[in-house]
């Protein structure tokens, strides 16, 4: 099924994936492409509009990413956001320099005045809060542009060339902190690009199924199945696309939650798919022995997963493709395009250079978690699978700070189970996006039974979020936390202190490592 496409050109900002999410929320299909993508490949998308994203660079430096100037002659509307705005101005003859004084730099919430005669701000309040993050300054805007928004410190918060349908904003309309930001994006999509707004997750399902059938042909696929939401949705998608050509391999690396390996096997043994369970726990724990640095843990786990899958593929015979449940936040945090590496996800930045498969298939690579859940429902997955809270591929390895041993993993399994059990009993599980326990590498003095203890400190983490790119720490009632703490220190030998993490993302990530 054909549909209109908005092209999002990625210049490496950490919030760029939110732009895609906001566009899709408006019912408009979009594709995110690195800014280094050849122009002919971008033009083949036949976009109805183009969005230049933010980025960490300064446009006036030769080392910063730029665009082929031919893109401005396509006659396609363009919206530049933050770095994208400055790039738009710089490329068309304006001047951008470092801010000359501290007041010209703007970060965080900023009161902004809008010219509502500009189509971007039409039918919106004349003043509101916008989210700024720029240290450079547009000294001169290009010919043909006018200023359409200002703040106390910056007269050129937004620019517009309505003749060519080129618009730029120094702030980030995609983040929740910008008042009416989504409405501004809607104005660009519907009033400037004239989008139909008819793209749905059902469309994505049909497109993904067709793409999988064309790519795989008569080949065979091995799916790296964890039993989580993402890999379960990929399993359902591939089962519908290629049926018996799919084999799901679940690797128990010894770092699952309590009873989880058995639960995954029980759930998928009822599916009409080829299912294999491989117990590789001793192998993984041996490889991780003595390793404390989190990036090394992730890369070791990523490589070992691949090697196990390669071995299983040889047993099956003639497997062409490896399928994974990689989603867009995994790609962003692992350092996509010009973005900084936050942490290497085992199925992205943790992959070894040499992989013995014809190709890796990742049909969810440009979807956010909430979109993955929507797709799962479209595919008819049961709600208990679709709404299941995430569990990272490296499992408890990134929830054990410092060295990993089987004893530590068993300790954390028991504590984590108590946490999840009490959360469910209190009815808090329905509103929490993710919650888990972390075994820190800190020991502290305690007293139990009139005797001195010197045991581990355990941290509890719970967050609420829509997309897992930003998250807020969850306000769990004190009485629930008290019950959890009492049970853990009484039932889990080796823990004598329990802490609760009250840090949001950013500045923290959801997982500790």
Active site residues: 82, 172, 174
Tokens for 74, please give them.
């396509």
- Residue 451 CA to residue 445 CA, distance in Å, equals 10
How many whole angstroms separate alpha carbon 255 and alpha carbon 417?
Answer: 13
Place of tokens 């709404």: 387
Per DSSP, the residues of 382-447 read -HHHHTPPP--TTGGGGTB-S---HHHHHHHHHHHHHHHHHHHHTT-TTT-SEEEEEEEEEEEEEE
Return all residues near 139 (Cβ < 8 A) that are at least 6 apart: 94, 95, 96, 97
**At which residue do the structure tokens 């210049």 appear?**
11
**Which stretch of DSSP H or E encloses residue 211?**
helix 201-216
Neighbours of 107 (CB within 10 A): 10
Q: CA-based Rg of the chain, rounded to a whole angstrom?
A: 25
Residue carrying structure tokens 């490329």: 91
Closest listed residue to residue 288, CA positions, set 246, 337, 253: 253
How many angstroms separate the CA atoms of 260 and 253, rounded? 11
Q: How far apart are CA 232 and CA 381, in angstroms?
A: 8
The C-alpha atoms of residue 304 and residue 14 are separated, in whole angstroms, by 29
Where does residue 341 fall: left (phi above 0), alpha (psi -120 to 50 degrees), or beta otherwise? beta
- Residue 40, CB half-sphere, CA atoms under 13 Å: how many? 0
**Residue 317 and residue 175: Cα distance in Å, rounded?**
48
Asked, as a colleague might, if the bond just before 506 is cis with ω within 30 of 0, I would say yes
| Residue given tokens 């594709």 in the structure block | 31
């Amino acid at each position: 099924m054909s549909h209109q496409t908005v092209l999002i050109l990625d210049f490496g900002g950490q919030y760029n994936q939110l732009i895609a999410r906001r566009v899709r929320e408006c019912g408009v299909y979009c594709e995110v492409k690195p800014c280094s993508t050849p122009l002919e490949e971008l033009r083949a998308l036949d976009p109805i509009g183009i969005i230049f994203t933010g980025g960490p660079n300064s446009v006036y430096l030769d080392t910063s990413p730029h665009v082929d100037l031919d893109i401005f002659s396509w006659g396609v509307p363009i919206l530049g956001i933050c770095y994208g705005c400055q790039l738009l101005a710089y490329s068309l003859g304006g001047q951008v320099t470092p801010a000359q004084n501290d007041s010209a730099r703007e970060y965080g919430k900023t009161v902004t005045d809008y010219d509502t005669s500009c189509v971007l701000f039409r039918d919106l309040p004349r003043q509101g809060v916008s989210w700024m993050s720029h240290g450079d300054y547009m000294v001169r805007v290009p010919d043909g542009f006018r200023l359409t928004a200002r703040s106390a410190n910056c007269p050129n918060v937004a620019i517009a060339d309505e003749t060519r349908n080129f618009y730029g904003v120094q702030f980030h309309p995609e983040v929740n902190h910008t008042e009416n930001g989504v409405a501004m994006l809607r104005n660009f999509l519907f009033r400037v690009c004239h989008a139909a707004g008819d793209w749905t997750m059902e469309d994505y399902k049909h497109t993904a199924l067709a793409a999988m059938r064309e790519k795989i042909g008569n080949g065979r696929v091995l799916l790296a199945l964890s039993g989580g939401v993402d890999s379960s949705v990929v399993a359902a998608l591939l089962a519908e696309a290629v049926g018996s050509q799919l084999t799901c391999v679940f690797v128990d690396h010894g770092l699952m939650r309590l009873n989880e390996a058995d639960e995954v096997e029980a759930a998928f043994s009822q599916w009409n798919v080829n299912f294999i369970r491989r117990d590789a726990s001793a192998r993984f724990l041996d490889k991780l022995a003595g390793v404390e640095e989190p990036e090394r843990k992730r890369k070791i786990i990523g490589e070992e997963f691949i090697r196990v899958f390669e071995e299983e593929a040889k047993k099956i015979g003639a497997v062409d493709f490896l399928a994974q449940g990689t989603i867009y936040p995994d790609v962003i945090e692992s350092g996509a395009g010009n973005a900084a590496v936050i942490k290497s996800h085992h199925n992205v930045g943790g992959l070894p250079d040499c992989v013995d498969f014809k190709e890796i298939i990742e049909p969810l690579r440009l979807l956010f978690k909430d979109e993955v859940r929507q797709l799962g429902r479209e595919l008819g997955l049961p709600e208990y699978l679709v709404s299941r809270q995430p569990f990272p591929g490296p499992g408890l390895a990134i929830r054990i700070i410092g060295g990993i041993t089987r004893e530590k993993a068993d300790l954390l399994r028991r504590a984590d189970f108590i946490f999840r059990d009490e959360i469910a009993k209190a009815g808090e599980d329905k509103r929490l996006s993710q919650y888990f326990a972390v075994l820190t590498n800190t020991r502290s003095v305690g007293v139990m039974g009139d005797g001195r203890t010197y045991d581990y400190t355990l941290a509890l983490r719970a967050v609420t979020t829509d997309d897992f790119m930003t998250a807020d720490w969850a306000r769990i009632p004190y009485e629930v936390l008290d019950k959890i703490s009492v049970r853990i220190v009484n039932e889990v030998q080796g823990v004598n202190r329990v802490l609760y993490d009250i840090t949001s993302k950013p500045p923290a990530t959801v997982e500790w490592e």
